[in-house]
């Protein structure tokens, strides 16, 4: 085991990471919302077949596309902000000590 000191993290890298995690969560939430919204619309109104299909399509596409994009954007902003604050604090405090275990490369 060896110790390393982290003195800086990549701001954009952390932003992409947290944004991508939020995008995946947003996709799951969007799918659930799309299903619930479509069921709710179809059971609470008496649309014609074309109106029902168009409304269902609009609900599904907006939830599956819009939610993940918004979640990614806010996650990216949050990640950039957290990484920036982390870099400022770590710069003042001298770093964060981590203990890492070195493993030998696996043979195939």
CA 80 to chain centre: 13
Own/partner pairs, 89-95, CB within 8 angstroms, 24+ separation: 90/6, 90/7, 90/8, 90/9, 91/7, 91/8, 94/5, 94/7, 95/5, 95/6, 95/7
Mean pLDDT, 10 residues at a time, the chain of 108 residues: 89 96 95 88 80 84 91 97 95 90 80
Q: Residue 2: what pLDDT?
A: 87
Domain range list for the chain: 2-100
Which of these, 19, 96, 27, 99, lies nearest to 63 by C-alpha position? Answer: 27
Q: Which residues touch 76 (CB under 8 Å, ≥6 apart)? A: 15, 16, 18, 19, 22
């Amino acid at each position: 085991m060896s110790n390393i000191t982290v003195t800086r993290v990549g701001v954009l890298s952390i932003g992409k990471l947290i944004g991508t995690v939020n995008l995946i969560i947003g996709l799951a939430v969007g799918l659930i919302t799309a299903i619930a919204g479509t069921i709710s619309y179809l059971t609470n109104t008496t649309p014609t077949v074309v109106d029902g299909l168009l409304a269902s399509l609009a609900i599904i596409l907006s939830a599956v596309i819009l939610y993940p994009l918004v979640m990614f954007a806010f996650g990216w902003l949050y990640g950039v902000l957290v990484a920036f604050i982390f870099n400022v604090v770590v710069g003042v405090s001298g770093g964060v000590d981590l203990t890492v275990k070195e493993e030998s490369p696996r043979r195939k």
